[in-house]
């Protein structure tokens, strides 16, 4: 029987609720009037309350420049929860949640406004009569990360970022700082931002968020690899022929041309999301499932990436840019037609890469990454292609074993293997064994921000990136971007919106005797 984890009572789920609940304190969201809070953060917090994972003493403070009182803020957030939330909104549930929500205006970035925030948090701590675990979430433009953090530090709001800083802090809760991506735009800026923030809060209290790490399938990758004795022995160059990672979006830049012109797909997606997938897939087993142990193994993978040879960059990198197309009958304007994009732009909306991880486990195994906008469908997956059997007893070219890990949509995994076709002849036929979260566990998995916000409120940094991890990824990406300047790949190839990318991306694999999967 398929276990139903959505049942009214479930010992496993209830046990997790008892051990993983937010701690008393406050979550302070800077940029609370923005899209992220409206669409993702507050709906995720409402879902945590629905699942009984939010402590009754957890207050949510929205900070913005808006002239909102608490009721206006609550009304705006309810709209977001009703439109974008995972769980239905009832008046009773909302009434309980609304009591947590308060708005705090900071318009002038003055010392007085931050002092008033400090007093508001102190009053909440006195009211709940418990040490407050205060989390400051910067959902602001990256250019404000350091400035807002300096104001928070000057107001004394990071004084207890490490327990027991002084006698007056003994027994108090801890402060934590959460920052959104992008964390820097190249190696130099990432290092500078790290220096700025770590001068204000210790690395242990700094949580750099990548929402893809909150997805159930990404986390399940660790369990799949390290809890199953049948798979980990095959997870190496002896048995794996090549690995594909695909992150495709069906929409174009959708009016964000000015932002995307500054970023490009490599900065926007590869440096963070895609490299996280790569590191989790390739890493060695950590000594324990703890934040530093997991993140140390991820850093080792990034440091083992072979640098791109500038003289041979066309053999390892293809850049693309979509032109007007009409996938499914819905027309998408070309990238150069977007507002904010100059006519002579060479910014990429697609990239395909061939990488090598020069270590003992993966030596000689090519890794192929492709990331793009205006693709035929929205899909993120990791595909492990195993080497074929050494001798074909049954003839024909029927393919090989492939393990596909689907990050989105339809989170789950599928394993392709060969079996006998029914009938009198010995003919091998590929079949697929599927696992889907929704059908196997009786409910859709929680949204990524639910897990990450809960971890931040608890103080678990396992799924957040560390300073050396950020710098290792930017080091490789910065070298890549430097290498394509003046090369044959500097001007992107074009591809029609609604297709799987430029012709050069197919040639990248065909030179090695492979073809891209069609998810």
List the catalytic residues. Answer: 273
| DSSP symbol at 266 | I
Q: What is the DSSP string of 103-165?
A: EEE-SS--HHHHHHHHHHHHHHHHHHTS--EEEEEE-S-GGGHHHHHHHHHHTTTTTTSSTTS
Q: What is the DSSP letter of 401?
A: -
Strands, DSSP E only, in 144-255?
175-179, 206-208, 240-248
Residue 437, C-beta contacts closer than 8 angstroms, at least 6 positions apart: 216, 217, 411, 412, 444, 445
Tell me how far apart the alpha carbons of residues 23 and 28 are, in angstroms, rounded to a whole number.
Answer: 14
The answer, yes or no, to whether the previous bond of 35 is cis (omega within 30 of 0) is no
User: In this structure, are strands 350-356 and 366-372 parallel, antiparallel, or unpaired?
Assistant: antiparallel
3-state class of 187 per DSSP?
helix
Query: 298: which residues sit within 8 A by CB, 6+ positions away?
Result: 276, 279, 280, 283, 469
Q: 517 Cβ partners below 8 Å, 6+ apart?
A: 244, 246, 381, 383, 402, 404
**33 phi, psi to nearest 5 deg:** -90, 0
């Amino acid at each position: 029987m398929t276990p139903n984890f959505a049942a009214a009572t479930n010992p496993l789920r209830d046990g997790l609720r008892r051990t993983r609940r937010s701690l008393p304190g406050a979550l302070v969201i800077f940029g609370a009037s923005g899209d992220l809070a409206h669409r993702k953060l507050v709906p995720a917090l409402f879902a945590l309350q629905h699942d009984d994972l939010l402590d009754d003493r957890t207050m949510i403070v929205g900070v913005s420049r808006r002239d909102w009182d608490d009721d206006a803020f609550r009304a705006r957030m309810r709209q977001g929860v009703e439109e974008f939330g995972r769980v239905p909104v009832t008046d009773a549930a909302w009434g309980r949640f609304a009591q947590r929500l308060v708005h705090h205006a900071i318009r002038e970035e003055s010392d007085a406004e931050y002092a008033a925030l400090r007093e508001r948090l102190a009053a909440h701590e006195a009211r709940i009569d418990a040490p407050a675990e205060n989390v400051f979430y910067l959902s602001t433009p990256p250019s404000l990360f350091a400035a807002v953090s300096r104001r928070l530090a000057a107001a004394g709001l990071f004084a207890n970022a490490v327990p027991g800083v002084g006698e007056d802090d003994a027994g108090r809760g801890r402060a934590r700082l959460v920052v959104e991506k992008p964390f820097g735009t190249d190696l130099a800026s990432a290092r500078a931002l790290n220096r700025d923030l770590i001068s204000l809060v210790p690395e242990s209290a700094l949580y750099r968020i990548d929402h893809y790490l909150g997805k159930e399938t990404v986390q399940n990758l660790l369990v799949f690899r390290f809890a199953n004795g049948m798979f980990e022995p095959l997870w190496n160059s002896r048995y794996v022929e090549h690995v594909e990672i695909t992150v495709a979006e069906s929409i174009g830049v959708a009016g964000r041309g000015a932002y995307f012109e500054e970023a490009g797909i490599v900065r926007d997606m590869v440096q963070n999301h895609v490299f996280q997938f790569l590191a989790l897939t390739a890493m060695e087993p950590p000594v324990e499932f703890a934040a530093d142990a997991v993140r140390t193994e991820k850093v080792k993978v990034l440091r083992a990436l072979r640098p791109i040879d500038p003289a041979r960059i066309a053999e390892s990198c293809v850049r693309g840019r979509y032109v007007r197309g009409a996938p499914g009958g819905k027309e998408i304007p070309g990238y150069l037609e977007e507002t904010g994009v100059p006519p002579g732009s060479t910014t990429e909306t697609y990239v395909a890469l061939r990488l090598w991880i020069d270590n003992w486990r993966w030596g000689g195994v090519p890794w192929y990454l492709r990331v793009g906008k205006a693709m035929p469908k929205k899909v993120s997956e990791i595909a492990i292609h195993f080497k074929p059997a050494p001798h074909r007893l049954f003839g024909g070219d029927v393919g090989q074993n492939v393990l596909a890990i689907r990050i989105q949509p339809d989170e789950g995994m599928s394993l392709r293997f060969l079996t006998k076709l029914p009938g009198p002849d010995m003919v091998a036929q590929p079949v697929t064994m599927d696992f889907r979260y929704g059908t196997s566990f009786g409910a859709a998995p929680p949204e990524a921000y639910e897990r990450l916000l809960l971890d931040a409120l608890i103080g678990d940094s396992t799924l957040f990136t560390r300073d050396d991890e950020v710098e290792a990824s930017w080091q490789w990406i910065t070298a890549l971007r430097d290498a394509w300047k003046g090369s044959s790949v500097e001007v992107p190839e074009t591809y029609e919106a609604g297709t799987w990318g430029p012709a050069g991306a197919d040639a990248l694999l065909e030179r090695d005797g492979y073809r891209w999967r069609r998810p």
